[in-house]
Structure 1
Amino acid sequence: MFNGFETIDIPLPEATIHARVGGSGAPLLLLHGYPQTHVMWHGIAEDLAQTHRVIAADLRGYGDSLAHDGDFTFRAMARDQVALMRQLGHDSFHVIAHDRGARTAHRMVLDHPDAVRSVALIDILPTLDVWRTMDDWLARRYYHWMFLSQPGDMPRRLINGNPVLFLQAALSGLSSGESAFHPEAMRAYETAARKPSVIAAWCGDYTAAATTDLDHDRADLGRQSDLPCLVLWGARGVVAHHVDPLSAWQAWFPGATGRAIDAGHFLVEERPGEVLGHLAAHLARS
């Protein structure tokens, strides 16, 4: 996995960010989601590195990245990644992001518009739309949104009792039912899940998404970006059940294009070749 890539750890004022770096060309930042790490990009990172300088990073608190200040808002996560890229010499860059990483990318466009050249958002709706459409059907599938955001240390203590079981349930509950995860990738996810600090980051992330992140997004309602934007989602997943994802994102990115992929939530690992084709075309256009 990640042949030809260098492993780095970059200290920042509020976090230490772990990443893999490889390839040459225009800079491209890859951001993962819950409950994974940068390893989720293992199936396409080497191909993307044929045309781009690829940086696959762990979000603060996830994987081997550390959060020093306890702030797990998408604003803080976006700030980290912009600082990481600047430390590596990239003042502007393309972003491809999945799940929580895609929410971080959205906040990055809002807070640091000059830093982002193009964005690809994979299998999410805007955070405000998720909460607006939350009903009993969605709550059963997104139960972790409510559970992880509970106050106090109860969620962390319960998960730490058997973190690998919780991880496996989270992954299987959102996948299409296929064996999507490479054994080496699964080992990396399990290793991360065994760290109490990672469990704390999961909980801090979802707590922020139910509180402060909503305030940030409400304050930016009506703001739009003309950046090139690609939206991809799993046809067998949850995202498109209530809302058309492309229409939802066109409220923020009027020129966004996109489509469904025959997969569940983890389409990058379930359908790497098909996803890579759409991402490569998007990057070429951008």
Structure 2
Amino acid sequence: MSNGIPGFAYHRVPVADGVALNTAVAGTGPAIVLLHGFPQTHLMWRHVAADLAADHTVICPDLRGYGASDKPAETGPDTYSKRTMAADVVALARAFGHERFALAGHDRGALVAFRAGLDHPAAVTHLAGLDVLPTLDMWDVMHGVSAAVGWHLYLMAQPPGLPEKMIAADPDAFFGAFLDQWIKNPAAIPAETRAVYLSACREAIPSIVADYRASAGIDVAHDTDDRARGNRLRMPVTVIQQDWGAALGYDATALWQAWTDDLHHHTTTAGHFMAEEAPAEIIRHLRDLLTR
């Protein structure tokens, strides 16, 4: 397999000063933007995107700092804040002529989607998040020995320098560990796709760390401010997660309900990489969302 989605056209789309996103596009009709997670690229959506393109305009970018998109140097906390990355997404959709669009994200992409829904409610018509909690809630539920599952969050939250050096010492071992540990069906990410992900991550260590560092700082501040102001997601929301709440001792549905009045929350038996492990299930949930 190449590093592209068959049948999709590829574009480099400027979305901010000095930042262009590598983007795959196919289909016609209402737009849906699909945002990938860690440690992946837009290729993780290959099965879901192909199905949705039958009756939607499907836009699949590499996030800033990932894949073949631009990777600006971290000049401050805003460079990789989810607010900045959400603005990228809105600008991207507009570049293709869509002022309003549905938005689905996995993992890191789901955090960007969440922020886009809060910051740009007039643009985001429907919102889906796969296997993530909002940043503020994520940190709140991580405590005691259960926090060991998120060890990488603490590593990449450290000031610039040490995390990047440690990861660069053996990037394939670092990034590959997540591909191995977070999957229930290893065949869902074949060797050639795994190679694409690892190659992309090797080229993006500083920007990936900067993305995570933002989630331990400025992203928390933005979520805290929204919670204090009562800002909530106004569009229909679907969340699909592994049953982390049962494992770590929290009520995932209740945490999400604090952010929206129109929530469909689902648990899955698939692993973290559910769009690749259980694409039919994810397609079904997304299509149900798009009818709400």
Equivalent positions of 1:194-209 (< 5 A) are: 194-195=202-203, 198-209=204-215
Deviation of the 1:241 alpha carbon: 3.0
Q: CA–CA distance in 2 between the matches of 1:226 and 1:213?
A: 20
1:162 to 2:154 alignment? no
Q: Name the structure 2 match of 1:63.
A: 67
Q: CA–CA distance in 2 between the matches of 1:121 and 1:45?
A: 15
Q: Which residue of 35, 55, 69 corresponds with 2:39?
A: 35
Equivalent positions of 1:75-224 (< 5 A) are: 75-176=83-184, 178-195=186-203, 198-221=204-227, 222-224=230-232
Deviation of the 1:152 alpha carbon: 2.6
Q: What's the RMSD between the two structures over aligned residues?
A: 1.7
* C-alpha contact (below 8 Å) 1:238/1:265 kept by paired residues: no
2:263 corresponds to which letter in structure 1?
A: A
Q: CA–CA distance in 2 between the matches of 1:178 and 1:64?
A: 25
Deviation of the 1:270 alpha carbon: 1.2
Q: Is the deviation greater in 129-138 or in 173-182?
A: 173-182
Deviation of the 1:137 alpha carbon: 3.3
* C-alpha contact (below 8 Å) 1:97/1:105 kept by paired residues: yes
Specify whether residues 24 and 40 from structure 1 end up closer, same or farther in structure 2 by C-alpha distance, changes over 3 A only. same
Q: CA–CA distance in 1 between the matches of 2:183 and 2:108?
A: 16
Q: CA–CA distance in 1 between the matches of 2:278 and 2:242?
A: 10
Deviation of the 1:175 alpha carbon: 2.2
Q: Name the structure 2 match of 1:271.
A: 278
Q: What percent identity do the matched residue pairs reach? A: 38
**Cα-to-partner distance string for 1:193-224 (whole Å, 9 max, x where unaligned):** 221xx111111011110111111110000212
Specify whether residues 204 and 218 from structure 1 end up closer, same or farther in structure 2 by C-alpha distance, changes over 3 A only. same
* C-alpha contact (below 8 Å) 1:230/1:282 kept by paired residues: yes
1:3 corresponds to which letter in structure 2?
A: P
**What is the DSSP-based 3-state SS (H/G/I as helix, E as strand, rest coil) of the residue aligned with 1:203?**
helix
Deviation of the 1:239 alpha carbon: 8.2
* C-alpha contact (below 8 Å) 1:77/1:104 kept by paired residues: yes
Q: Name the structure 1 match of 2:250.
A: 243
* Structure 1 stretches of 4+ moved >6 Å: none
1:255 to 2:259 alignment? no
Question: How many residue pairs were aligned?
Answer: 282
Deviation of the 1:177 alpha carbon: 5.9
Specify whether residues 72 and 220 from structure 1 end up closer, same or farther in structure 2 by C-alpha distance, changes over 3 A only. same
Structure 1, unaligned stretches of length 5 or more? none
Deviation of the 1:42 alpha carbon: 1.1
Q: CA–CA distance in 2 between the matches of 1:178 and 1:2?
A: 20
Q: Name the structure 1 match of 2:9.
A: 6
